[in-house]
Amino acid sequence: MNKSFVYHPIGVIRSPYKVPKGTPIQSSASKGAKGVIEIFPEYQDGLKDLDGFSHIILVYHFHLAGKSNLRIKPFLDENFHGLFATRAPARPNPIGLSIVRLLHIEGNRLVIRDVDMIEGTPLLDIKPYVPEFDHREADKTGWLASNIHKLPGKKDDGHFSG
């Protein structure tokens, strides 16, 4: 199958982080960092009832990611791993996923917390986070099991940027 897909942003993410280097590598490592999502006017009506959720899932484009490689050295380890066994931003399809806290909605602006995206990140979609749908108990976490303790305070060092 060799098809192309074209997605169009529904908005833009405003963030205190201006460049990849120094940005928290996961939203769970970015506790308290505030941001704003500006939804484009033609999509604003889709925000109806979203304010009833405490958390939302953001699907976005890693617009500053560099070229992808299938074997990479991730942020939390010194060893090379297969790209698909990591959360590295430089991917064949540079799509990001973050769960953030929704603080409130003001018209077409969503005020959020636990931001781990870069200023100007194109937003592709929003989904409500529902623990009964989205939470799973994991039996295994692969190579991360011995490295997850490094996450708190871990920042992007710039090696996946374009």
**What amino acid occupies position 154?**
K
| pLDDT number for residue 83 | 85
The model carries a pTM of 0.82
Domains along the chain with CATH numbers: 11-150 (2.40.30.70)
Q: What is the SS3 assignment for 40?
A: coil
Q: What is the SS3 assignment for 61?
A: strand
| pLDDT number for residue 160 | 57
* Low-confidence spans in the chain with pLDDT less than 50: none
Per-residue pLDDT tens over the stretch 1-25 = 778 889 999 999 999 989 877 666 6
Query: Residue 59 burial by CB count (10 A; 0-12/13-18/19+): exposed, middle or buried?
Result: middle
CA distance 162 to 158: 9
- SS in 3 state form for 106-122? ECCEEEEECCCCCCCEE
